[in-house]
A and B are shown apart, each in its own frame.
Chain A
Amino acid sequence: MKTAAANKTGMTICEEDFLKFREYFYRKSGIYFEDCKRYFVDKRLLERIDATGSESFRSYFVLLRFETGGEELQALINLMTVNETYFFREEYQFQCMVTGLLGEIVQYKTNNSPLRIWSIPSSSGEEAYSIVIYLLEYWPGIHLWDVEVLSSDIDTRIISLARRGVYSPRSVQHLPPYLLTKYFTPIGCNYKINEDIKQSVEFTRVNLMDTSDVRAYRNFDIIFCRNLLIYFDNLSRHLAAETFFDALNPGGFICLGHSESMSRTSSLFRVRKFPEAIVYQKPRQDI
């Protein structure tokens, strides 16, 4: 059994404070820490208590609760969330895409325009390439429809990595071995994604908060925006929801991360429950 986390002065977080913090953090970020995460949470909380010079959990919590700018909450969110991406992460949503979302979308497509999917943030490209592989492997409609996959990030450095398409064993560890063989070439101890997959995704730089940046991003059928909104404050979430609403075709879907909820942010979207996932839909005029 792990001992309780403590800071330099021996301060620890008691059960009551942990529960109080967990409830507050969930309300603010949508992230809920199970009891088994207690050590992880305590350690980071104590780190921020030290960093802010707070004398106790209570004084830190007051700072967190009432700080006008929200910088400390943001710092804490950054510390509490692990920015990790890998192929087939949260695969259940890709399953939902091929078994539910796309069938519904093509049913209402009145022209033969391509299906358009937007993955944001692109990070180093794992999600966008996962989408392509999933479509090719598991969606029968791929023989009938053209699909465009666009992936965007604010960080040009990470986009370069995405375009390079070379991944560590950790990044591909959840791929079935036959897909790893089929779509990747080993390079030393890493894996390079095949050129035709790489060429099928367009990567762009975009700041989701900049209206002029996102104006051209329109007519999408599905948007994947997973584990990004948790980093945003409320106003930024509202802005992102506005942008996604304008970017989607009527009837289009947005997929968020499993700890995120559009319902807490905006009433613009309908909640849709599919067997594999809960997603959010821009209403069509006819429903």
Chain B
Amino acid sequence: MPIIKQQAPQISGEDKRQRPRDFDGLTAALNSGDEVIRRWAVRDLAEFPAAGGALAARLKREPNAAVRNAILTALTRLGDKEAVDGLVECLRSEDVALRNAAMEAMKELPAEVAPIMDTLLSDNDPDVRIFAVSILESLRHPRVEVWLKAVIEHDPHVNVCATAADLLSELASEISRTALERLPLRFPEEPYIAFVTDLALKRLNEDRSR
């Protein structure tokens, strides 16, 4: 029969470890010219709690998409301060794919991202504030609406407020009502703000009448 039975998965020759798989050896392997070696170094480093800094540093200059993916997954698994700081730095990158990947990773880390959310939402760069609001879109945290409400109450930039109001139109409760009613007064010349707050308030009224 041409179906042959394999006895058990064997470590093939190419998988045999060439170097010690300790922390120093693995962080050194992050700089290998071979992307397969770098990728496996990343995956193994995810088992070391102290690896966040080295992985985050590599992420900024890693050109290979598969290695980059592995680093993002590893940082999400680690989820410590160094990992989160590394992801936050990516929000300032000009590389759109990296930025989006960092946002996706941060959405998976509610407990770790929550303590820095106020800082992100008051960043000097309005783009970073918009990215922070985008992270809130899927962040599993009970303060999401409180953060969004604060944005539409205080953020001076119309695009940041529009992004937050857009999200509030999906999930606002009564605690956001007053802030939503006031938002168009802050940006009277912006038709999108009027549209999105109308939508959010309409949904709130529907909820109230049920």
Interface pair B9/A204, CB less than 8 Å apart: yes
Q: Which residues of A contact B8 (CB under 8 A)?
A: 202, 204
In whole angstroms, what is the CA distance A199 to B69 when docked? 38
Interface pair B73/A238, CB less than 8 Å apart: yes
Binds B, one of A41-49, A64-72, A84-92, A101-109: A64-72
Using a Cβ–Cβ cut-off of 8 Å, how many residues does chain A contribute to the interface with B? 44
Main secondary structure, interface of A, reads: mixed
- 0 or 1 for each of A52-88: is its CB under 8 Å from B? (1 = yes): 0000001000000111111000000000000000000
Given contacts A58-B207, A200-B5, contact A268 B69 (CB under 8 A): yes
Interface pair A202/B110, CB less than 8 Å apart: no
Interface pair A200/B1, CB less than 8 Å apart: yes
Q: State how many angstroms separate the Cβ of B125 from the closest Cβ of chain A.
A: 26
Does any Cβ of B come within 8 Å of A215's Cβ? yes
Q: Which residues of A contact B65 (CB under 8 A)?
A: 267-268
Q: Which residues of B contact A136 (CB under 8 A)?
A: 1, 3
In whole angstroms, what is the CA distance A215 to B43 when docked? 10
B9 in complex: contacting residue of A58, A65, A150, A211, CB < 8 Å: A150
In whole angstroms, what is the CA distance A66 to B171 when docked? 11
Binds B, one of A138-146, A166-174, A271-279: A138-146
Interface pair A148/B4, CB less than 8 Å apart: yes
Given contacts A147-B3, A150-B6, A246-B39, contact A218 B171 (CB under 8 A): no
Does any Cβ of B come within 8 Å of A227's Cβ? no
A-B contact count (CB 8 A): 96
Does any Cβ of A come within 8 Å of B63's Cβ? no
A132 in complex: contacting residue of B3, B7, B76, B97, CB < 8 Å: B3
Given contacts A66-B141, A68-B140, A242-B70, contact A234 B108 (CB under 8 A): yes
Given contacts A235-B77, A238-B73, contact A217 B9 (CB under 8 A): yes
Interface pair A66/B76, CB less than 8 Å apart: no
Given contacts A143-B2, A204-B8, contact A242 B43 (CB under 8 A): yes
Interface pair A145/B9, CB less than 8 Å apart: no
Q: Which residues of B contact A218 (CB under 8 A)?
A: 9, 12, 15
Chain A's closest residue to B47 (CB) is: A211
Does any Cβ of A come within 8 Å of B44's Cβ? yes
Does any Cβ of B come within 8 Å of A187's Cβ? no
Q: Which residues of B contact A215 (CB under 8 A)?
A: 11, 15
Q: Which of A207-226 contact B (CB under 8 A)?
A: 211, 215-219
Does any Cβ of A come within 8 Å of B50's Cβ? no
B15 in complex: contacting residue of A70, A200, A216, A238, CB < 8 Å: A216
Does any Cβ of B come within 8 Å of A201's Cβ? yes
- 0 or 1 for each of B1-37: is its CB under 8 Å from A? (1 = yes): 1111111111110010000000000000000000000
Does any Cβ of B come within 8 Å of A135's Cβ? yes
Q: Which residues of B contact A256 (CB under 8 A)?
A: none
In whole angstroms, what is the CA distance A48 to B3 when docked? 46
Does any Cβ of A come within 8 Å of B161's Cβ? no
Does any Cβ of B come within 8 Å of A239's Cβ? yes
Interface pair B44/A211, CB less than 8 Å apart: yes
Q: Which residues of B contact A217 (CB under 8 A)?
A: 9
Interface pair B47/A196, CB less than 8 Å apart: no
Interface pair B69/A242, CB less than 8 Å apart: yes
A65 in complex: contacting residue of B2, B39, B140, CB < 8 Å: B140
A68 in complex: contacting residue of B39, B110, B207, CB < 8 Å: B110
- 0 or 1 for each of B136-154: is its CB under 8 Å from A? (1 = yes): 0000111010000000000
Q: Which residue of A136, A150, A246 has the most chain B CB atoms within 10 A of its CB atom?
A: A246
Does any Cβ of A come within 8 Å of B116's Cβ? no
Does any Cβ of A come within 8 Å of B196's Cβ? no
Q: Which residues of B contact A67 (CB under 8 A)?
A: 140
Given contacts A58-B207, A67-B140, A268-B69, contact A114 B4 (CB under 8 A): yes
Interface pair A239/B2, CB less than 8 Å apart: no
Interface pair A211/B73, CB less than 8 Å apart: no
Instruction: Given contacts A66-B144, A242-B73, list 7 more A-B pairs with CB under 8 A.
Output: A116-B6, A199-B5, A200-B4, A215-B15, A216-B10, A216-B11, A246-B43
Closest 10 CB pairs of A and B: A200-B3, A216-B9, A148-B6, A238-B73, A146-B4, A66-B142, A68-B110, A202-B6, A216-B11, A235-B108
The contact sample of 10 A-B pairs, CB cut-off 8 A, is A66-B140, A135-B3, A147-B2, A147-B4, A150-B6, A201-B5, A202-B5, A216-B15, A245-B69, A268-B66
